Structure formats: structure tokens, C-alpha cells
Amino acid sequence: MFQRIARYLPILDWGRRYDRSALSSDLIAAVIVTIMLIPQSLAYAMLAGLPAEAGIYASILPIMLYAVFGTSRALAVGPVAVVSLLTASAVGQIAQQGTAGYAVAALTLAFLSGGFLLLLGLLRLGFLANFLSHPVIAGFITASGILIATSQLKHILGVEAGGHTLIEMLASLFAGLGRINPITLVIGVAATAFLFWVRKGLKPFLRRMGLPAFAADLATRAGPVIAVVATTVAVWGFGLAGRGVSIVGDVPQSLPPLTMPGLSPDLIRALLLPAILISIIGFVESISVAQTLAAKRRQRVDPNQELIGLGAANLGAAFTGGYPVTGGFARSAVNFDAGAETPAAGAFTAMGLAIAAVALTPLVYYLPDATLAATIIVAVLSLVDFSILRKTWAYSRTDFTAVAATILLTLGLGVEIGIAAGVLISVGLHLYKTSRPHMAEVGLVPGTHHFRNINRHRVETRPDLLSLRIDESLYFVNARFLEDQIQDRVTQGCAIRNVVLICSAMNEIDFSALESLEAINQRLRAMGIGFHLSEVKGPVMDRLKRSHLLTQLNGQVFLSHYDAWQALTGQDGGQAASTAAQ
């Protein structure tokens, strides 16, 4: 009974083994991640088109709920760049930024996303995320990184600009070049350059100065905080807000409020599809990070329970003034490297952010938007990976086509169309590949019992025997392809007297494929050609026994293809080695 409950409440498992050593490690990790998350949460809220405090609110209760329901020991949940962009894209079509309707729509998006993730988890449907291929995900994230970075240039330049596609954004930025605020530009460029240097050069510099590795690493993680403090002091000290520099302004000094998502049918209908897309993208990103980090410590992550954990986190965001969240790569890697032992590190991080929400928000009044934009740009450009185009071009042109199409569609038509196209392309590629599976005519390798492709090896063949190996399960998409291939090989006047279908690679034969096999059997019977099966797997044979195929088969079923070769070429004295299932 306890094990069943613990499956849905992993905290009962790791919590009973929690000790002082884990507490110490988790507290240190929480301090480091909290320092990183304060400016990052503010920045991602701005990216989502929401008030700065929404980013902090979305990083408090969601993290605590994930600590209760999640299975990853290192995953850090909260706002991330791609989900923030998707939120802005979806909600921006319903309400105008800065309005109450916009905030309510963001809450509703988190509510729908959380409900969808929770439903998938309870139904054990985590495998559905596999329908998004890695090349398509890589292409989408690369394009999203470009869009996000481009969308933040308006804050660096100090101009008004908009748009949902790359062309729209660039055109809007170009139109505003004459209105650039030079002070904002200096702040934005300086902050961006500093943050890039922090990522690559600060830690080696501090190590050369004799600072211990841990202190140097902590200072590197605090790089965005240094940029925030320096630019905030500069804006306050020189009165730059009065000279056109856009600042964060008033941020409520309070814990997350109790909020209610909108439940009107029209709003739910408008946000349902974006919520599903956000859920899938968020889950794929989160589970990839969680499994990667878990493997380093030989730990296990349950994808279905992760769905429940992320679903609970998003529901928490919906009722506490947040917006959709997921597990982020950067913060999770920092959490892992800082030594987090259990999900309690996330709970301590949430407490730190709660303290920041109550005590520190007045200090960010003069924080320039340009600094937050620089934080986003530096973070998302690390996601851009054009090498995926080169790798897929060298390995698989179909995968290259999928990546290139996803990138171009996302940049040209927007993130929602881009990811929807990515899903369709992933499924379409799978259907295309399986609709035309690799099929090899095989022959006997001399002196062995092995059979290989006649186009790749020197093998023995017989003109009256056709041995075909299809390297795919048979189902409705490729069943007709098999019929056509066999029909093409047994044309009128050929010497073939027996056809053997090698089923060693078939894990499934659906009803459509069964009907195709029956049709093949009838045609070959009419032509005076025997139709045989070999190496049929046990589960497949169990199903075939429940059909009429085996009783009507114009041939036999062989345990191995070598048995079929011996029987049909007369090398076993004419006695066929027919068998039932393996």
C-alpha cells in the first residue's frame, strides 16, 4: 500500500531517508540557484509580456509542488525562455499586454497546461512526447532562440517594436532606428558584453587571481546579479529614468496572491491548442534535462510521474499569479553542479524567492529593462545550434528536411505554427519511412546458416525461390507496399515457385496487414506459387493463430529460414521443417 502511494508521492520515498548531509547540500544549492533565479525570473516574465513579479510568483509554489510530486533530484522548475515566448505568442492573440485580460489569459494557459499534463500522467501517456523527434525539437529551439533574442533588441535599443515572426520583428526594429535612446543602448550593450564575458572568462580570471574554485563558481553564477546591481545603481544615481531609460518600476512587495484562471468557454477554446503545445514542448525539455542529470548519478526518473509533477506545478502557477512553467536546462544544471541531493533543494529555493518577493522587490524599481533583455539574450543564444543542420545533412536528408522546415516555418510564420508543423513533420516522417520499409532479397552465405542481402554480399540463391526480409512491422501504412513488391517480383514467366517472407524484424502485424497477407496468399496460389513464412515471433504467431491465414496458407511456417531453405531447395531429402510458434 505504501509503495503504491509513494509512486504518486515520491517525497515519501526520499523524505524518509533525508539526513543532515543532504540538508547541507540542498541549502547550498538553493542559495546559488536563488541568486541566479531572481534576475532570470524577472527577465522571463518580461519576455512573456507579464509584470516582473509574475516571474517570481511562477517560481515559488510550482517549485514546491514539484518537490512533492516530481521524481528528479536535480530538476529546477520555473519560467523558461521558450515557454515564455509561447505564452506571449498565445496570450497576445487574445488580449493586449498590460491589461487584466492578458494576466487572466496567462493564468488560464497555465491551468489548461497543468490539467493536460496531469491527465497524461494519470493515464500513463508519457510516451506521446516521443512523437516529437530530436532533430525537430533542436530546430524549433534554435529558431525560438533567434526569435527571442531578436524580440529583446527593442529593449537594448530603447525603441518600440513588435511582431511575431523574424521578418516582422526586423522590419519593426528597422523602422525605429531613428528613435534609438543612446543611454539605453550603452546600458544594453555593456550588460550583454559583460554577461557574455561572465559565461566564458570570469571563472578562469578569478582562478588566476587565486580565488578557490567554489567561490569562483559562485561568483560566475552571480554574474547576472552583478549586472543587475551595477545598472540599477547607475540608473538611480544618474537619474537616467528621467532621460528615457525604461525601468521595471513598482513591483508588489508581497507573497504570491491567490488568483483564479478564467474559465469562460470562449477563452478555454482559444487557449486549448496553445496549452497542449506548451505542455508537450515543456515536458520534452524537462524530461530530457531530468534524465540526463539522473544518468550522471545512476538515478531513475519516471516520465509519467514527471507529467504529474509538472502538471501540479502548472496548476500551482495558475492559482498564484504565475504562468506556464517547466524544468529549465540552465537552472537545473546549476542546481546539479551546486550539489543538490533531493527535490528539497527546490523547496528551499522557493523559500528564498519568497523572501526576495517580500523584502527585495523595492530594490529593483530602477532596474533597466535593457539589463533584463541582455540576460535573456545571453541565455537563449546558448540554445541556438546550427550544427544540427550540418549533422543531419551528413546523416539523413529526410531529417535535414524536417529540421530546416521547422526552423524556416518558426522564423517565418511564428512559434505556434512552427511547433505544430514540427509535430506534423515528425509524424509524417515516421509514416513515410515506415510506409516504404527496407526490404531485402536474401541468399545463403556459403558454408553457414546465415542469410544476407544479395546486393551487399556474395550469397547462394535459387531461381525458383524468392526469400524476402522486410525490416519493419506490418501495419496499414506499409501493407500495400509489401503487396506491390511481391507482385513486381513474381511477374508472368518468371521461374519463381516459392516465396518466403522472413518475419524476424516484425513485432506487429495489424488487421490491415493481415488482409494484405491473405490477398498475397490468394494471388500466389492462383499463380501456382507457394507462400511461406519463417522466423515468426511468438506474440505475432499468437495473433496469426486467431485468424484464417495459417489454415489457408499456400505453404508452411518455418522455425528458421535455414529450415525453409533446406526444405524448399530439396536439401533435406524433401521433408519440410514446418513448425508453429517460437
465 pLDDT band, cuts 50/70/90, is very high
Say what the pLDDT of residue 291 is.
Answer: 84
Q: C-alpha grid cell for residue 70?
A: 516530481
> Distance between CA atoms of 120 and 128, rounded to whole angstroms?
9
Mean pLDDT (the chain) is 88
Burial-class residue 71 by CB neighbours within 10 Å (0-12, 13-18, 19+): buried
User: Could you report the per-residue pLDDT of 139-189, keeping only the tens digit for each?
Assistant: 888 998 899 999 999 999 999 888 888 999 999 999 988 899 999 999 999
Q: C-alpha grid cell for residue 316?
A: 500551482
Burial-class residue 137 by CB neighbours within 10 Å (0-12, 13-18, 19+): buried
- Give the chain's largest Cα–Cα span: 101
Architecture category of domain 439-568 in CATH: 2-Layer Sandwich (3.30)
β-strand 451-453 against 439-444: which pairing, if any? antiparallel
> Distance between CA atoms of 314 and 261, rounded to whole angstroms?
12
Say what the pLDDT of residue 573 is.
Answer: 43
Q: C-alpha grid cell for residue 528?
A: 501456382
User: Cα separations (Å) of 230 from 44, 159, 223, 579?
Assistant: 20, 22, 11, 80
Say what the pLDDT of residue 131 is.
Answer: 67
> Distance between CA atoms of 569 and 550, rounded to whole angstroms?
22
User: Could you report the per-residue pLDDT of 427-454, keeping only the tens digit for each?
Assistant: 887 788 888 889 999 999 999 999 999 9
Query: Using an 8 Å Cβ cutoff, are 510 and 540 in contact?
Result: no
Plot region of 493 (φ>0 → left; ψ -120 to 50 → alpha; else → beta): left
User: Could you report the per-residue pLDDT of 492-526, keeping only the tens digit for each?
Assistant: 668 899 999 999 999 999 999 999 999 999 999 99
Query: Using an 8 Å Cβ cutoff, are 389 and 404 in contact?
Result: yes
Query: Using an 8 Å Cβ cutoff, are 188 and 374 in contact?
Result: yes
pLDDT > 90 fraction of the chain, expressed in percent and rounded: 56
Over range 244-260, report the average pLDDT. 91
Over range 269-296, report the average pLDDT. 88
DSSP classification of residue 179:
G
Say what the pLDDT of residue 575 is.
Answer: 39
**Percent composition of the chain: helix, strand, coil (DSSP 3-state, to 5):** 65, 5, 30
User: Could you report the per-residue pLDDT of 41-84, keeping only the tens digit for each?
Assistant: 999 999 999 999 999 999 999 999 999 999 998 899 999 988 99
Other Cβ atoms less than 10 A from the Cβ of 480: the count is 14
Query: Using an 8 Å Cβ cutoff, are 194 and 228 in contact?
Result: no
572 pLDDT band, cuts 50/70/90, is low
Chain position carrying cell 545512476 = 298
40 pLDDT band, cuts 50/70/90, is confident
User: Could you report the per-residue pLDDT of 388-431, keeping only the tens digit for each?
Assistant: 899 999 998 888 888 899 999 999 988 878 877 877 887 887 78
User: Could you report the per-residue pLDDT of 303-321, keeping only the tens digit for each?
Assistant: 899 999 999 999 999 999 9
Over range 75-94, report the average pLDDT. 91
571 pLDDT band, cuts 50/70/90, is low
Over range 11-25, report the average pLDDT. 85
Say what the pLDDT of residue 464 is.
Answer: 92
Q: H or E stretch including 367? A: none
pLDDT at position 194 over 80: yes
Say what the pLDDT of residue 576 is.
Answer: 38
pLDDT at position 328 over 90: no
Say what the pLDDT of residue 399 is.
Answer: 85
pLDDT at position 367 over 60: yes
pLDDT at position 272 over 70: yes
**Domains of the chain, residue spans:** 2-181+245-359+386-427, 182-244, 439-568
Half-sphere exposure in the Cβ direction for 491 (13 Å, CA): 3
577 pLDDT band, cuts 50/70/90, is very low
Closest of 302, 312, 313 to residue 77, by C-alpha: 313
pLDDT at position 98 over 80: yes
Beta strands in 238-374 (DSSP E): 326-327
| CA dihedral sign, ordered 323, 325, 331, 336 | positive
Q: C-alpha grid cell for residue 18?
A: 533525508
